[in-house]
A and B are shown apart, each in its own frame.
Chain A
Amino acid sequence: MRDLSGWGRYPRTSGPLGMVSDVDDAAVATALLSGVVARGLGRSYGDAAIGRETTLSATGLDRMQSFDPETGILAAEAGVSLAEIIETFLPRGFFPKVVPGTRFVTIGGMIASDVHGKNQHNDGTFGDHVEWIMLALPDHRVLRCSRAENPEIFAATIGGMGLTGTILSAGIQLKRVETGWIRQKTHAARNLDEAIRCLQQTEDATYTVAWIDVLARGKSMGRSLILEGEHETLSDLPWGEIPFPTSKFGRISVPMEMPGWMLNGASIRAFNAGYYLNGARHAGRDRVVTWDAYFFPLDGIGNWNRIYGRRGFVQHQCVIPEGAEHVLFEILDRLSAAGAGSFLAVLKRLAPASGLMSFPMKGLTLALDLPVSPENLTLLTQIDGLVAGAGGRIYLAKDALQSRDTFQAGYPDLDRFCRLRDDIGARGRIASKLSARLGL
């Protein structure tokens, strides 16, 4: 028995964690075990990567298989991490087409959550750049799935939270980059209206995202820093910089769980205000930053999840469809009125995604984290209601709380997903704490 939880350290459970060392083992385990789901590096926040009965650790599936520099397609086992991919291929001038906010995630996890990044509005999700998937099913079959082969299962596996079977390996598309630097431009938006407009106006940029101060109130409600980014070209790179810097990160770490009182309204308010004011000073000017500082700022602080103390935290990410922006104002109003602050909440415009259960839809997404407390859990339940009422949805990779009603309202292709799970014999066999909670 092992203690198991997501990155938010809430909820905490314990259960058996099976290790597999190759894809054959993983396929056999998938067929023999019941109530099982694969787990990568455990960076989903809630209960998605915990098996209802048994959890299958896929970190032993860590071999790369081949890389074709002509097409940029990497074939690799599902447990290979994004950090390894970048470390291996960035020096050769390749970068993943889509990266989430941490590089300590696996290929299998990125497919299962159909993760998105700061370029989702232009380049789609991670799943859009997956060429094929080898998937182990409960009936002992190992299927190759792609847009041409078993397309239904392919579409259900992208964003399917591991619930269609165990992802064994995949072919993923990398893109050519000239350097490992990002040219970043910061815009300051004084309130939510300005932030939304600014995100719209910066959509031509490859990457654009807003860090939003959810505690600012009144006229400043929703004040944000919008960070545009472009891959720096070799010719524009400041003189003397090496084209492909290696990560400097990982030198500091949160050594233990912080006492809960350290995170309070005042400290978070001060942090957010400072962050905004500091960023606003740089507004309008270009800065050239390393890939890790731009894409993975929190990876620089090891075990940052401990900062929320023993009770853990919940990460909450919703998307509000286009046309219902007023709901976003109401959500911010409730958050700021409750003084429920979050370090570095994120606001971003999304485009629709292709997976059956993928999170993105056309609209605005807001991601934030809150320490676990009875008040905050109640608040988030109320926010879920607002999201559902607006026709939005909650991101399953972050979720630890949402109700079945919210879930069913948010994912219109759920019936098709469930039917497909029935067809391949996954119902009841492939199951996580999340699927059990949501009645899948």
Chain B
Amino acid sequence: MSLTARHLLLLGGTSDIGRAVAKHYADNGWQVTLAARDVEAASRNAADINTRQPDAGVAVEGLDILETESFVSFLDALHPLPDTVVCVVGMLGDQEQAETDPDHATRIMRTNYEGPALFLDMIAARFVSRGYGMIIGVSSVAGDRGRASNYAYGSAKAGFTAFLSGLRNRLATKNVHVATVKPGFVETRMTAGMDLPGALTAKPKDVAERIAGIEIRPRDVIYVLPVWRLVMFVIRSIPEPIFKKLKL
């Protein structure tokens, strides 16, 4: 283990994208801490990376993104404060259930917006007082415009996207970079069973590569597959009177 290794804190260490991001950073010599609610599942990913890459030393910390009161003690216990935090926390949920079950809707909104935003705000303050830091938030193209099929999720992601943009604006002069990543379709457990168009669908590995690329060349907002920038431009350009009648 190198003493000079850079340190990544990854929020959402059990997701497929999280696993790929952790692996990519570990392969590049970073020390990685996976934060996740399900410590056992995160440990499974940590063991996998540590077995494949014996110098990796991936560690696991329990963190429930909905337990916002726990954030301060979690951050106090982090040594060292990471160089980069990547947040891939997300919950697609069930839109139809969210329409009739406020608890489910609340859970989707808090998991995708409230928890991540509050956590990143707190770590941002620590980055600012230290003098540097990198914050990478994985949001979603679903937040670019609300659609009938997933607007509970989409609206929370829209909030997260706006949060990241505001944070970026605030920290632009503070040597803390904030990046927003919009993956588009990704082949993961979250999308298992969906019929996804191949040309618009990335692999978790692609997302990881794009995220790690931000370390070398800081970017503000990226779509993992560039075609999504165009797709979302078109979707945003449709006038609302027409858009509202589309089946999307």
- Cα A19 to Cα B16 in complex, Å, equals 14
Chain B, residues 166-202, CB within 8 Å of chain A (1/0): the string is 0000000000000000000000010010000000000
Contact of A64 among B41, B48, B189, B192 (CB under 8 A): B48
Please indicate the chain B residues that have their CB under 8 angstroms from the CB of A362 in the complex. none
Q: Is A220 engaged at the interface, CB distance under 8 Å to the other chain?
A: no
Most buried by B among A60, A63, A88, A92: A63
Q: A19-B192, A88-B52 are in contact. Are A63 and B41 (CB under 8 A)?
A: no
Complex CA–CA separation, A64 to B192 (angstroms): 22
A382 at the interface (CB under 8 A from B): no
A21 lies within 8 A of B189 (CB): yes
- Cβ-defined contact, B51 with A66, below 8 A: yes
Interface: A278 (CB within 8 A): no
CB distance from A390 to the nearest CB of B (A): 45
State which size class the interface on B falls in.
10 to 19
B192: chain A residues at CB < 8 Å are: 19
Contacts of A62 in B (CB 8 A): 48
Q: Please state if A63 and B189 are interface contacts (CB–CB under 8 Å).
A: no
Report which of A21, A60, A63 forms a contact with B48, defined as CB distance below 8 A.
A63
Q: With A and B bound together, what is the CA distance between A66 and B54 in angstroms?
A: 10
What is the size, in residues, of chain A's interface with B at 8 Å between Cβ atoms?
Answer: 14
Q: How far is the CA of A63 from the CA of B50 in the complex (A)?
A: 11
Is the CB–CB distance between A67 and B51 below 8 Å?
Answer: yes
- A122: Cβ under 8 A from any B Cβ: no
Interface string of A17-38 (1 = CB under 8 A from B): 0010110000000000000000
A154 vs B243: C-alpha distance when bound (angstroms): 61
Q: How far is the CA of A110 from the CA of B189 in the complex (A)?
A: 26
Is there a chain A Cβ closer than 8 Å to B45's Cβ? yes
A65–B41 contact, CB under 8 A?
no
Of all chain B residues, which has the CB nearest A69? B54
**Residues of chain A with a CB closer than 8 A to B44's CB:** 22, 63
Contact assessment for B48 and A65 in the assembled complex, using a CB-CB cutoff below 8 Å = yes
Inter-chain contact A65/B52, CB cutoff 8 Å: no
Residue of A nearest to B193 (CB): A19
In whole angstroms, what is the CA distance A22 to B48 when docked? 13
CB distance from B74 to the nearest CB of A (A): 25
How far apart are the CA atoms of A333 and B74 in the complex, in Å? 75
Shortest CB distance B54–A (Å): 8
Chain B nearest CB, measured from A89 CB (Å): 9
Say yes or no: B47 contacts A65, CB within 8 Å: yes
Chain A residues whose C-beta falls within 8 Å of the C-beta of B189 in the assembled complex:
21, 60
Between A64, A67, A76, A88, the greatest number of chain B beta carbons within 10 A of the residue's beta carbon is seen for A64
Interface residues of B in 34-48 (CB under 8 A from A): 41, 44-45, 47-48
B residues less than 8 Å from A67 (CB atoms) = 51, 54
Residue of B whose beta carbon sits closest to that of A23 = B44
Which residues of chain A come closer than 8 Å to B41, judged between CB atoms?
Answer: 22
Q: For B19, give the chain A residue with the smallest CB separation.
A: A63
**B48-75 vs A, Cβ < 8 Å mask (1 yes, 0 no):** 1001101000000000000000000000
- Least CB distance, A435 to chain B, in whole angstroms: 28
- Shortest C-beta distance, A22 to chain B (Å), equals 7
Within 8 A of A (CB), among B1-60: 41, 44-45, 47-48, 51-52, 54
Residues on the B chain within 8 Å of A19, using CB: 192
Chain B's closest residue to A84 (CB) is: B52
Instruction: Write out the residue numbers on chain A whose beta carbons fall within 8 Å of the beta carbon of B48.
Output: 62-65
CB-contacts of B181-238 with A (<8 A)? 189, 192
Interface residues of A in 237-272 (CB under 8 A from B): none
Q: Which residues of B contact A22 (CB under 8 A)?
A: 41, 44
CB distance from B138 to the nearest CB of A (A): 20
Per-position 1/0 for B96-120, Cβ under 8 A of A: 0000000000000000000000000
Known A19-B192, A22-B41; contact A66-B47, beta-carbon cutoff 8 A: yes
Shortest C-beta distance, A78 to chain B (Å), equals: 14
Complex CA gap A60/B44 in Å reads 12
> Which residues from chain A contact B52 at a C-beta distance below 8 Å?
64, 88
Q: What is the CB-to-nearest-CB distance from A26 to chain B, in angstroms, rounded to a whole number?
A: 13
Whole-angstrom distance from the CB of A344 to the nearest CB of chain B?
Answer: 33
CA–CA, A365 to B48, complex, Å?
38
Distance, CA A74 to CA B192, complexed state (A): 29
Bound CA–CA A65/B45 (angstroms): 9
CB distance from B38 to the nearest CB of A (A): 10
Shortest beta-carbon distance, B16 to chain A, in Å?
9
Binary contact track B142-155/A, C-beta < 8 Å → 1, others 0: 00000000000000
- Chain A contacts of B51 at CB under 8 A? 64-67, 74, 76, 88
- Given contacts A19-B192, A88-B51, list 14 more A-B pairs with CB under 8 A: A21-B189, A22-B41, A22-B44, A62-B48, A63-B44, A63-B47, A64-B47, A64-B48, A64-B51, A64-B52, A65-B47, A67-B51, A67-B54, A88-B52
Q: What are the 10 closest A-B residue pairs judged by CB atoms, nearest first?
A: A63-B48, A64-B51, A88-B52, A64-B48, A67-B51, A63-B44, A65-B47, A21-B189, A66-B51, A64-B52
Show 26 residue pairs from A and B whose CB-CB distance is below 8 angstroms, ordered by the A residue.
A19-B192, A21-B189, A22-B41, A22-B44, A60-B189, A62-B48, A63-B44, A63-B45, A63-B47, A63-B48, A64-B47, A64-B48, A64-B51, A64-B52, A65-B47, A65-B48, A65-B51, A66-B47, A66-B51, A67-B51, A67-B54, A74-B51, A76-B51, A88-B51, A88-B52, A92-B54
